[in-house]
Amino acid sequence: MELSDGTPYIFIDGALEMEDVTEEGLKVSFTELSWKRASQNMDQLFSKKDPYRAGLYVEVPERT
> How does residue 53 score in pLDDT terms, banded at 50, 70 and 90?
low
Residue pLDDT, tens place only, 3-47:
888 888 777 777 788 888 888 877 888 889 988 898 888 888 877
The CA–CA distances, whole Å, from 59 to 23, 27, 56 equal: 10, 11, 10
Q: Where are the domains of the chain?
A: 21-64
Q: What pTM value is reported for the model?
A: 0.54
CA R_g for the chain = 15
CA distance 37 to 58: 17
